[in-house]
A and B are shown apart, each in its own frame.
Chain A
Amino acid sequence: MKRTAFAAASAVALACAAPVWAGPQAEVLHWWTSGGEAKSAAVLQQEFADNGGTWTDMPVAGGGGDAAMTALRARVLSGNAPTAVQLKGPAIQEWYEEGVLADISAVAEAEGWADVLPGSIAEHMKCEGKWCAAPVNVHRVDWIWANAAVLEASGIEMPTTWEEFNAAADKLLAAGVTPLAHGGQAWQDATVFEAVALGILGPEDFRKAFVDLDMETLKSGKMVAVFDQMRKMRGYVDANFPGRDWNLATAMVMNGEAAFQIMGDWAKGEFLAAGKEPGKDFLCASVPGDGFLYNVDSFAMFEVDGEDKQAGQDLLAKLIVGPKFQEVFNLNKGSIPARVDVKLDAFDSCAHLSAKDMGESAENGSLLPSYAHGMALRGAQAGAITDVVTAHFNSDMSSDEAVQMLADAVANSM
């Protein structure tokens, strides 16, 4: 009896000690849980399964990724990191510095990522020169959306300078239309702020201010002008804006209550879902000024043990950047593919404009990361800037005061 028990125990121990090769495995932590996003995630899941992999889904909804980050922290601290995690921007490097990211350079080089990704986007995917993350898409943040019928009724063209925008807005105010649909949440304030800042500072100073955190630029006269324009924008929103969700603001543009909205291209999904046609019912244009602000979703690969998991990681990375997934996923999500060699025939006119501008701005160096969406700065610094922006927008603070506060807040966040 004793002997059989011993034999059974050792059999179990042996079975545990020598894992059976079970094909590529991937446990994926993400927060694509709502409508179009969930559909997009399912595309990747299906493709992974078609290539013989076993996908363990780990969706954590809530808080725009905050809840997922909390789950990730717990997993990493307990020494059991997921295979791949939806991470973006400097957060990738921040996790790399904690020493938990894997090197996927082998896949990246075999697939020739360096040739198909724009340079500045590829930089986000590297940790000290090695590839550690795979990009999924490129959202453009500095869009201005408009209701075509409202503009026509007031005889307004899509503005190409901020002066034109102000003139158009004043005209709309006089006609009793809310010029700017906006939701008073800190991140939306920051989205409008960075669009204004890009236009007024220009790409070079934008980079100095919001990527390099150069104090001279942050305190410059141009920055005062940015806050002056923000004060004007405050006059163009309706009184009832605090706390409104972005999609409700988009709905205001759709049904003609408001003329413009400044928002990333996820707003396009709302227009399309309501059966509106780009160019006919609604218009899309980049906000006045040069440059292109991107918000790139990506998956960072974590250090995992076991051959099957590493194989899963490599397969996942390969599929994510593969042309098929990039096309299908981005059609669902409203963004454009991160790789530049994907055929855009199935995409709409706004996406074509986005892709064209991305190519041009990549060449002249004005392809810039969005600070408001966590692409340019780490959480603490970006948050400190957003605090000032939203405090200024929601009070009668003067522009000079705001600029001083901005410099102090950035210094204090280090």
Chain B
Amino acid sequence: MSQWLERHIPKMVLAPSFAAVLVFVYGFIIWTAWVSLTRSRLLPKYEIEGLIQYERLFNAPRWDTAMSNLFVFGTLFILISMVLGLMLAILLDQKIRTEGVLRTIYLYPMALSLIVTGTAWKWIMNPGLGIEAMVRGWGFESFTFDWVINPDKAIYAVVIAGVWQASGFVMALFLAGLRGVDGEIIKAAQVDGIPAWRIYTAIIIPSMAPIFLSAFIVLAHLAIKSFDLVIALTGGGPGYATDLPATYMYTMAFSRGDIGQAASSAMVMMAVVFAIIVPYLYSELRAKHD
């Protein structure tokens, strides 16, 4: 009996959450996929009509904008956050005295909600209130920083706010990684007279590959599901210049009563996530089998 329990208790404990995930994640993915094939408007309908919603989606210029924004935002956000985070981590790793204080300062933005970040940066970057007004007030009359209200640049303004929020967190990840590198190897390299930058590029950074991967996965999903930052910072504007797939889906489902269209955009978003996650899972699983 006790042996039986020992063998089955883990399964019994996991069963409820497994069942919940099955219904509320995978069940609703299937439900969304089904609805995306219908002509649902205000309320979901279940008669399948084919791929009409996907045709409409790919014909909509607003969806094109949303996808290219996701690409621009995602690439820059991930890249800049990683580079800045790594640099901050390396600089903090120089055994400086006030490390504890500095680490907390850089990590603090992560404690704020994206709504707060978005609202604060909206004011900071507003040409009439923020940086532009301040620098002009100092006498530099021709200074212009109007990204947040310029339809061609607004998405970069979103990147700035996103990077400010996330790079401290990435720094913490990398800092943990740096501390995990075997000190003996570094000392050996120092004894051999290898310059510090070579130690970083040839020894420390390559040995942190798993941290890069984790940071990438965390940042990528932050970028794809990014919604509140855009809503607070630009409201998707000017026009719909900073629309992202998530805000597009929200507008269709909740403002316009076009549930079928919202479901199809959600499915495409999921495909994007899969395109990133599946290679990751694949490499993880393969590594285990080796």
Contacts and interface: CB of A to CB of B under 8 A. Distances in A.
A159 B128 CA distance: 30
Q: SS class of chain A's interface: helix, strand, loop or mixed?
A: helix
A98 B42 contact: yes
B11 interface: no
Residue with the highest number of chain A CB atoms closer than 10 Å, among B62, B151, B238, B241: B238
Nearest to A394: B239
B246 to A, nearest CB: 15
B235 interface: yes
A379 B62 contact: no
A243 B239 contact: no
Interface stretch (B2-10, B92-100, B161-169, B254-262): B254-262
Interface stretch (A36-44, A192-200, A293-301, A383-391): A383-391
A379 B255 contact: yes
B127 A243 contact: no
A13 interface: no
B234 interface: yes
Given A239-B146, A240-B126, A395-B151, A69 B257 contact: yes
Interface in B107-126: 122, 126
Nearest to A70: B254
Interface in B232-248: 234-235, 237-241
Interface string B250-290: 01001111100100000000000000000000000000000
A123 interface: no
A413 B237 CA distance: 21
B61 interface: yes
Contacts of B235: 185, 243
Range class of the A interface residue count: 35 or more
A189 to B, nearest CB: 8
Contact of A185 (B42, B59, B237): B237
Contacts of B59: 408, 412
A378 interface: yes
Given A239-B146, A240-B126, A379 B43 contact: no
Interface in A364-414: 378-380, 382-383, 387, 390-391, 393-395, 405, 408-409, 412-413
Q: SS class of chain B's interface: helix, strand, loop or mixed?
A: loop
Interface string A165-179: 000000000000000
A22 B280 CA distance: 63
B60 interface: yes
Contacts of A379: 255-258
B254 A66 contact: yes
B149 interface: yes
Given A239-B127, A391-B61, A412-B56, A94 B240 contact: no
A95 interface: yes
A275 interface: no
A242 B240 CA distance: 11
A379 B240 CA distance: 17
Contact of A243 (B43, B149, B254, B261): B149
Interface in A62-98: 63, 66, 69-70, 73, 76-77, 91, 94-95, 98
Nearest to A413: B56
Contacts of B254: 63, 66, 69-70
B41 interface: yes
A383 B255 contact: yes
Interface of B: 41-43, 56, 59-62, 122, 126-128, 146, 148-149, 151, 234-235, 237-241, 251, 254-258, 261
Interface of A: 63, 66, 69-70, 73, 76-77, 91, 94-95, 98, 184-186, 189, 239-243, 378-380, 382-383, 387, 390-391, 393-395, 405, 408-409, 412-413
13 contacts: A63-B255, A70-B254, A77-B43, A95-B42, A186-B237, A240-B127, A240-B149, A243-B234, A243-B238, A380-B41, A394-B151, A412-B60, A413-B56
